[in-house]
Chains A and B, each alone.
Chain A
Amino acid sequence: MDESVGKVNKFDVLGNMNLRTKTLLAIGLSAFILILVVVISFFIDPKSITTNWTMMNQPPSLEHIFGTDWLGRDMFIRTLKGLGLSVQIGFFASILSSIIAVALAFLSSFNKHLDSFVSWLIDVFLSIPHILLIILISIALGGGAFGVLIGVAFTHWTSLARVLRAEIKRIKTSEFVTISEKLGQSKFWIARKQILPLVITQVIVGTILIFPHAIMHEASVTFLGFGLSPHEPAIGIILSESMKYLATGNWWLALFPGLALLILVLLFDIAGENIKKMLDPASAND
């Protein structure tokens, strides 16, 4: 494979970097920031977010780069702690979501009745607005982190399940699957050995791309007051509390945490899209 040595693409914006380097860099950088946020938030001592009446309502400064709130708490630290919590909830919710999606997609490939059941289930979940469903499930489970997590997980599997169902259907009609059957392989064997390797990329990328949605929805439900309880340092709580103070000119209370949430969500999106390129080189040839 001597002729296959990488050739530098001259039209790159980032100078001499080829797509591989750029992609790896994008994945590495976004993963690093995300992990950093989680680790830091983990080590933040709740005591450092205590009330400090001498520092009330400070606008952003070098000492408090995100400013302080009406109780004198540092907004930067609160935001970090909140983001950490968001990522954790997003992580478990998206993994749970894709487990549901994969299980249902494979179930639908088993026979016709199961297939109609699964597509009915997808339609039902898609026909109810996400936010409403999350609130319902979350309240039914008693609210709190667990309620939100389950609520988000049970509403975000639909699109991945639909994609996987179609993909599995296509693969099942392929000639190599028919040949496998006639070589005496069982349905389970075919699902594991023939189908799974062909959909695993979509599962991984799908899971990562559920992440930003999960985080956003968790924040919105919390913002609306149906999610995490007010004493938890969640982004949704921070944003909803800040609403009361926006009118008095404390713009930094909402701007920086909101912006931080947006960047976090974008980072997941970048990571997901780049991992997709990495695993599915054909899409990168364009």
Chain B
Amino acid sequence: MSDLINVSNISISFTQYVQGLNQRELKVITDLTLDINEGEIVAVLGSSGSGKSLLAHAILGILPHNANLSGNMVYKGDVLTEELKKELRGKEIALIPQSVNFLDPLMKVSDQVIGECADEAEEKEKRAKQRAIFEKYGLSEEVDDMYPFQLSGGMARRVLVSTALLSNPKLVIADEPTPGLDEKSVEETLNHLRQMAADNVGVLLITHDIDAALKVANRIAIFYSGYVIEVANASDFSGEGENLLHPYTKSLYKALPHNGFELTKGHQPLHGEIPVGCPYYERCPHKLENCDKERPFLFPIDENKRVRCFKYEG
């Protein structure tokens, strides 16, 4: 496995106009570092509305223009500039959107999967490929001529997956692909992701569903108040959670219904109220002296694991 994409120290903030047009700077993602290898599934886990989807938008270069982005992204050894993002998106880097609503209701499914073609030769080639991918995902030939409203939920999801795969992407970003789905559909969606990884595609799964993340991901980045506070192996989420490092990750694991449903008090700091020191300071059971004055970095533990906590410094 080799590095596909390296995201280091990414911060995303918004200049927002609020009541009466006062301007304010809203930090949504701060100091995010992450890398994804070929054939690996990395999940970014955070509560809904925490802004984690913006990471996907940043990689694809489709942030709204009042967003400010800083930090570095390196894709296959090249710095990912806005021009390069534009060149890669929809080709080497593809997105599986949240919902079926992203399909054009007035266009035949096969036509929109193929997209625009320069000439007939290209169209022929793409059609053949689309057919092959549809076949792989169990979509029969009659689906080609269907309109989105004729698809069942499961078929529509497979169409979305096929669309992303048509351009032979190296990196696929799946943005919240599971909410509102029952177990069977979740399992099906996750299987698609597994299949991609087996084909040596890197997958970035952005989700709030810890169960889904645990089922497919190799590694999981835990999001807290805009910070990645830990990157852990999925296998660390086992037993009593003794391999998990950050106290928040541990509490999160133990709060799961099948791991004890354990209560932890407190809440994540609100936007704009994030303290100077560690964002988890208020709730942390083992505070150190400088935790409320200084913000810890995301310390590397080994090749895969990282944690944002002074306890593991050095």
Contact = CB atoms under 8 A, between A and B. Distances in A.
Interface residues of A, number: 19
Contacts of A284: 17, 21
Contacts, number: 52
Given A1-B273, A3-B272, A281 B24 contact: no
Nearest to B276: A2
B11 to A, nearest CB: 12
A285 B273 CA distance: 22
Interface in B18-72: 18-27, 64, 66
A1 B22 contact: no
Interface residues of B, number: 18
A2 B20 CA distance: 18
Contact of A4 (B21, B24, B66): B24
A2 to B, nearest CB: 8
B264 interface: no
B51 to A, nearest CB: 14
A128 B23 CA distance: 45
A277 B27 contact: no
B304 to A, nearest CB: 32
A5 B21 contact: no
A5 B272 CA distance: 10
Contacts of A159: none
Interface string B143-159: 00000000000000000
A20 B22 contact: yes
Contacts of A20: 17, 20-23
Contacts of B15: 7, 9
B18 A281 contact: yes
Contacts of A18: 23
A44 to B, nearest CB: 37
Contacts of B19: 281
Nearest to B64: A285
A129 interface: no
A63 B27 CA distance: 60
A5 B18 CA distance: 12
Nearest to B270: A1
A208 B79 CA distance: 51
Contacts of A285: 16-17, 64, 66
Interface string A117-154: 00000000000000000000000000000000000000
Interface of B: 15-27, 64, 66, 272-274
10 contacts: A1-B272, A3-B27, A4-B22, A5-B25, A24-B21, A277-B21, A278-B21, A281-B17, A281-B18, A284-B21
Q: What 8 A-B pairs have minimum CB-CB distances, sorted nearest first?
A: A4-B24, A20-B21, A6-B23, A281-B17, A284-B17, A1-B272, A281-B18, A7-B25
